[in-house]
């Protein structure tokens, strides 16, 4: 259990910006020891759906994945973004493999119940193949996950990248020390979302509940932090939120928000 695996989730803000992505891949490739990258989507999927005239339906801020939208997700997330990152990591000397949940049967999911809201081809994770994941890591391979799971019956499913990061970190925590880095467009959790100087450096579930009750944590941060605290509870050693562009500074604790169990 001495070896630390860095599990890094990057989002659309990085994927949409080739220069930022290069910086992040530079940092990521230089991290010591075993590592896993999970990437989200980015605007290319929406752009492509627009160009192809495929209407995108949003319900409660979430995209509905119909058959055509699933195909776009598989093409853009599982193809273009995933393989471009893998080629970029190989160029930096890492032995990477780009995977969806179907590859090596890594992530199984169930199509979400269409009641009360039918989100279409969206998968809720039912299991991670820890054995296959551990084997990849132990043989020096860096898995790069697209936000896609599969149902074991031949269908791929759209799954939130934060959730994949959480499930992968949790599965690895049985065999390794795991540091989970949820990166996004901010320095970390901010008391005032427009002011980076209001960074919350340390956060316990108790403090999180207080801030949430005060209305200081809202919107997209809530599911992110829920996933993050669940990861801590599930045995992940460290969870850090912050900007991917400063990955080494997040790890050395000079910026970002670090989560802790309640004292």
Binding site for its own copies (CB under 8 A): 48, 51-52, 71, 74-80, 82-84, 86-88, 90-91, 95-100, 102-105, 132, 135, 139, 141, 148, 150, 152-156
In the bound complex, what is the minimum distance in angstroms from residue 90's beta carbon to its own copies? 5
Judged by beta carbon, residue 7 or residue 74, the one nearer its own copies is: 74
In the bound complex, what is the minimum distance in angstroms from residue 57's beta carbon to its own copies? 20
In the bound complex, what is the minimum distance in angstroms from residue 77's beta carbon to its own copies? 8
In the bound complex, what is the minimum distance in angstroms from residue 246's beta carbon to its own copies? 22
Apex 34 CA angle, 95 and 22, nearest 5 = 60
State the alpha helices, DSSP H only, in 33-129: 43-51, 67-73, 82-91
Judged by beta carbon, residue 135 or residue 218, the one nearer its own copies is: 135
Question: Residue 251 is encoded by which pair of tokens?
Answer: 């790890």
| Residue 15 contacts residue 42 (beta carbons within 8 Å) | yes
CA distance 143 to 133: 8
Judged by beta carbon, residue 47 or residue 252, the one nearer its own copies is: 47
Q: Who's near 168: CB < 8 A, 6+ residues apart?
A: 7, 36, 38, 107, 128, 133, 145
Judged by beta carbon, residue 160 or residue 257, the one nearer its own copies is: 160
In the bound complex, what is the minimum distance in angstroms from residue 158's beta carbon to its own copies? 12
| Residue 169 contacts residue 236 (beta carbons within 8 Å) | yes
Apex 14 CA angle, 13 and 20, nearest 5 = 130
Judged by beta carbon, residue 142 or residue 227, the one nearer its own copies is: 142
């Amino acid at each position: 259990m001495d070896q630390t695996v860095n599990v890094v989730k990057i989002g659309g803000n990085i994927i949409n910006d080739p220069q930022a992505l290069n910086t992040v891949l530079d940092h990521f490739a230089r991290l010591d020891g075993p590592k896993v990258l999970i990437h989200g989507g980015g605007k290319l999927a929406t752009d492509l759906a627009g160009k192809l005239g495929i209407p995108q339906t949003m319900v409660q801020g979430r995209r509905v994945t119909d058959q055509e939208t699933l195909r776009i997700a598989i093409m853009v997330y599982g193809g273009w973004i995933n393989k471009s990152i893998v080629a970029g990591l190989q160029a930096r000397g890492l032995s990477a493999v780009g995977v969806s949940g179907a590859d090596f049967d890594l992530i199984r999911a169930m199509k979400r119940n269409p009641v009360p809201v039918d989100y279409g081809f969206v998968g809720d994770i039912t299991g991670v193949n820890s054995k296959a994941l551990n084997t990849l890591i132990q043989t020096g391979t860096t898995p790069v996950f697209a936000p896609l799971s599969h149902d074991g019956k031949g269908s791929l499913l759209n799954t939130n990248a934060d959730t994949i990061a959480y499930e992968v970190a949790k599965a690895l925590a049985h065999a390794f020390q795991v540091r989970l880095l949820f990166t996004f467009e901010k320095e970390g959790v901010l008391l005032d979302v427009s002011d980076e100087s209001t960074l919350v450096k340390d956060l316990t579930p108790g403090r999180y509940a207080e801030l949430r009750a005060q209305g200081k944590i809202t919107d997209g941060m809530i599911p992110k932090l829920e996933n993050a605290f669940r990861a801590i509870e599930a045995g992940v050693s460290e969870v850090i939120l912050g900007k991917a562009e400063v990955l080494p500074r997040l790890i050395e604790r000079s910026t970002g928000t670090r989560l802790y169990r309640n004292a």
